[in-house]
Structure 1
Amino acid sequence: MRYAQGGGLTDERRVFREKLRMEAAERFRHGDENAVIAHDLRISVRSVQRRRKAWSQGGPRALASKGPASLPLLGDDLFAVLERELLKGPVAHGWPDQTWTLFPIKTLIGRRFHQSYTVQGVAALLKRHGWSCQLPARRAIERNEAAVAGWGKETRPSGEEPWRRSTPGSSSRTKSASR
């Protein structure tokens, strides 16, 4: 299961879910009904049905966690190699710019490790290992503060009525009904 914060389940949550599965196995052994188990454990009836089927085929061991659905493509040892490559900079790898973006990092991973990541996967990988987005330390030299301040005043809506695409009764439905 993936979350927006860039990680899976915490260790506490994994232990909690394991305990729920074992409690369900105990309830299956006692012959409790699926709806009662679902209500008491606060899970869906469908989840109880799947767990009961697995339990009937393989016992409580069939309900044990099998670990994460997929292992990361780059382990900690390979990520250390990637970090060394990133510290060399993008120019050392043939990119004209002085800053790393996700696409060149994705390409570097593909070339160096023969692993295919999506851009979002690269972002998650970097975040998981403590890397963050680069932000400019100062404003661009070319920035014109007066133009930026004036732009907000000039382009802000002046309170005019919104433009309407059609007038009442102008739809094709009303015209065809009169014919």
Structure 2
Amino acid sequence: MRVNKPAGFTLIELVIGIIVFSIALVLFTSLIVPQAIRSVDPVFQVRATELAQSLINEIASKSFDEKSDRTGGSALCSQTVTPLCTTSDDFGAEEGFSNRENFNDVDDYDGLSETDGGIKNALNENVTIGNANLYQGFSAAVFVVYDDNMNGVDDALDSGGNYIGKTKLITVTITTPNNENILFSTFRSNY
């Protein structure tokens, strides 16, 4: 007569199975979870690009300098002939005109910094989809310097400050909600 043993797993087999399953689960989650978190990066990058491009378009559409002729005439500011262009030490918004609605030349934007709900369009309106701010969590910073040789370095650093040039480098830095800094730049020449 034959006695049948009950079929099943031993305690050791169960413990080894749980350990193998735990290791596989840890490996799987360590590969998948970071990818899920990064899946929003392209959305942030597209929004950052749109914001930077709109700022660059707005800035580049302004006069080269406060002292340039805005009526399409031939009077351009200069390094040596009157009217002299604004010196690099005097970049930034003119006194009493701290919002973008009143900016009328490229160097007015130097030092502009906007974040979250403070990011507005050229008409000083919030940018929304539905009732949600499109750029919540973003920040934008603008810097303008003279860069005649177009090497990306402020020419005032080489000359000891207070410089006047023919080409301005406009740099827009957008920081996304996940703290990625994306840099955009363009040149605006005196013509």
TM-score higher than 0.5 here?
no
Where on the TM-score scale, by shorter chain, does this alignment land: which range?
Answer: under 0.3
State the TM-score, normalized to the length of structure 1. Answer: 0.28
More strand by share: 2
More helix by share: 1
Which structure exhibits the higher relative contact order, with contacts defined as CA atoms closer than 8 Å and separated by 6 or more residues?
2
